[in-house]
Amino acid sequence: MRRALITIAVAAALVSTTRAQTASGPPKLAVLIVVDQMRADYVTRFRGEWSSGLRRLLTKGAWFSNAAYPYMLTFTCAGHATVSTGALPHRHGIMQNTWFDRQSGKIVRCSEDDRPAGVGYGGSNGEGDSAARLLVPTFADQMRREKGARVVTLSLKARSAIMLAGQVADAVTWRNEALDGWQTSTAYGGAVAAVKAFVDANPVEADYGKPWIRTLPRGRYRYPDTLPGEMPPGGWSPVFPHVLTSRTGKPDAEFYTQWERSPYGDEYLGRMAAALAASFELGRHDTTDILGVSFSSPDLVGHAFGPLSEEVQDMYARLDRTIGTLLDRLDRLVGSDQYVVALTSDHGVSGVPEQLKLDGKNAGKLNIRALGEVVERAAAEALGPGKYVANGNYNDVYFEPGMYEKLKASPAALNAVVAELSKQPSVARVFRREELYDPSAIGSTDQTLRAAALSFVAERSGDLVVAMKPGWMFTGLATTHGSATDDDQRVPIIFFGRGIKPGEYREAASPADVTPTLAAIFGITMPQAEGRPLRSALAAPVSTATRP
């Protein structure tokens, strides 16, 4: 008996020694989680329903409850690039998901790149996307250079997986544009055996015929199942249950579109993330690794059903479990005290215009090209017949070569065009490119001017940039994001795990602070970052602890 006690005591001492030794270095793995379209108030609205991963992150982690993007064009690619680089669009260059490329005369995607080839895992090969248009290094790029980190990222969206990774990575995986499979590109070395093995063993088509039903007791849902303006994908009605199926009776574009707009998309990404962490042995070799996962389905569900829907609430109840399962797997793979997690979102979402109007608010939807057409007519009226506008893409209006200069040379004409645009019921402000290009705009106390300037990239932005009134948006879906409002700009930031001091932090913070905070934990540099380390959430370094 006594010997047994001694053995236990010795074993306990050994364990505590091992822990003390391992507790002195940086984490072995950084997990970057982006939940696409996770508005800040979802945490306070839904946290009572969380019992697994999201609850663990919130209660054991550092929650920044007053975080917001400072710029105007709150879109997916800009948000992911901001999180990964710690810089803002005016510096990292990703001002939108798409923009008008003056040289080619075409709208280009933020991750579009003609040079690499798409490489499919099963389905079609897709486009050969890369991070070539991202102008500054990511956290993952720096960790790879300075620490030899392995980098694995995944998402349903190319732009999300790519911006989280950066220029080079071990595996970057997304759904192809035809929706019928997973892919990567030769920019990331082509097909990866571990990804192929997972995809082959886990066909998305296995979810064909499955229903999406409510996971919470009926009384927990705050709003009716059907609200005005909902736009479910083809084959679904606005009411539960939503069955993943198609009119052809087999997996086709209709099924894949539904699948991406269901909890099955998140669950799949969570499983793939855990499997790739295992096959790449992330966090289990000499240095530190990066796992980046962007859950896209909450965004697609939000676009279809709106932020007050039962569907959005249900997605978060299920994402709580998906993230819980992922964290459990990482506990076993890496050790529960050996990794650090940062969770945030790329943007929030605005209310559904039809619902806002019922509340007596001024709201509405526009076609993307609508403002360009207003400008075309106003310019022709001021300067005579001709073709003035090359493209209108969301908030940006681009003139044909030389035409903006021609308008500027006749101040009355440019004023007339700006006045006509400003009269539109959707428009709050109209900025001329020289106002946003002026370096003083970034430091302005005029918050709308500052937000527009932080989204302005000279070679990619329009000649005129429009700030929309709250509730007005460019979309054919139920709702969207992309404005400088609290609904679109405010998102949660949560850090969890090794090196993090738990608590709720009410100080102002930005998603641009996320990777600078991780960089401080890992002791690497991010020379182009504009965000700052959120030091209040960092635990004191172990080395400064004094012995009794």
Establish if 289 lies at the interface with Zn ion (CB under 5 A). no
How many other C-beta atoms can be found within 10 angstroms of the C-beta atom of residue 418? Answer: 19
Sequence-ordered strand ranges (E) for 334-456: 339-344, 364-366, 389-393, 396-399, 427-432
Query: How near is the Cβ of 347 to Zn ion at its closest, in Å?
Result: 5
Q: Tell me whether residue 76 or residue 245 sits nearer to Zn ion (CB atom).
A: 76
Q: How crowded is the C-beta side of 88, counted as CA atoms within 13 Å?
A: 21
Closest residue to Zn ion, based on beta-carbon distance:
76
Give the integer Cα–Cα distance in Å for 348 and 324: 23
Query: How near is the Cβ of 158 to Zn ion at its closest, in Å?
Result: 12
Are 83 and 346 within 8 A, CB to CB?
Answer: yes
Q: Tell me whether residue 299 or residue 311 sits nearer to Zn ion (CB atom).
A: 299
Establish if 76 lies at the interface with Zn ion (CB under 5 A). yes
> Site map for Zn ion, 345-374, x if CB under 5 A?
-x----------------------------
Q: Tell me whether residue 36 or residue 530 sits nearer to Zn ion (CB atom).
A: 36
Query: How near is the Cβ of 114 to Zn ion at its closest, in Å?
Result: 25
Q: Which stretch binds Zn ion (CB under 5 A): 68-76, 140-148, 447-455, 457-465?
A: 68-76
Contacts of 448 (CB under 8 A, 6+ apart): 72, 428, 429, 467, 484
Establish if 129 lies at the interface with Zn ion (CB under 5 A). no
Query: In angstroms, what CA-CA distances link 314 with 40, 178, 298, 318, 331?
Result: 17, 27, 10, 6, 26
Establish if 36 lies at the interface with Zn ion (CB under 5 A). yes
Q: Which stretch binds Zn ion (CB under 5 A): 49-57, 69-77, 239-247, 439-447?
A: 69-77
Query: How near is the Cβ of 99 to Zn ion at its closest, in Å?
Result: 16
Query: How near is the Cβ of 428 to Zn ion at its closest, in Å?
Result: 22
* 3 token code pair: 């010997």
Q: Tell me whether residue 311 or residue 346 sits nearer to Zn ion (CB atom).
A: 346
Dihedral of the CA atoms 403, 408, 413, 415 (nearest 10)? 130
Q: Tell me whether residue 162 or residue 417 sits nearer to Zn ion (CB atom).
A: 162
Query: How near is the Cβ of 77 to Zn ion at its closest, in Å?
Result: 8
Q: Tell me whether residue 65 or residue 74 sits nearer to Zn ion (CB atom).
A: 74
Query: In angstroms, what CA-CA distances link 113 with 107, 117, 130, 133, 136?
Result: 13, 9, 6, 8, 17
Contacts of 439 (CB under 8 A, 6+ apart): none
Of 302, 300, 299, 309, give the one whose Cα is nearest residue 228.
309
Establish if 320 lies at the interface with Zn ion (CB under 5 A). no
Query: How near is the Cβ of 265 to Zn ion at its closest, in Å?
Result: 13
Of 479, 478, 481, give the one whose Cα is nearest residue 232.
478
Q: Which stretch binds Zn ion (CB under 5 A): 35-43, 138-146, 199-207, 266-274?
A: 35-43
Give the integer Cα–Cα distance in Å for 481 and 82: 16
Of 324, 341, 348, give the one whose Cα is nearest residue 283.
341
Query: How near is the Cβ of 346 to Zn ion at its closest, in Å?
Result: 4
The correct pick among 112, 230, 289, 299 for binding Zn ion (CB under 5 A) is: 299
Residue ranges that bind Zn ion, judged by CB under 5 A: 36, 76, 299, 346
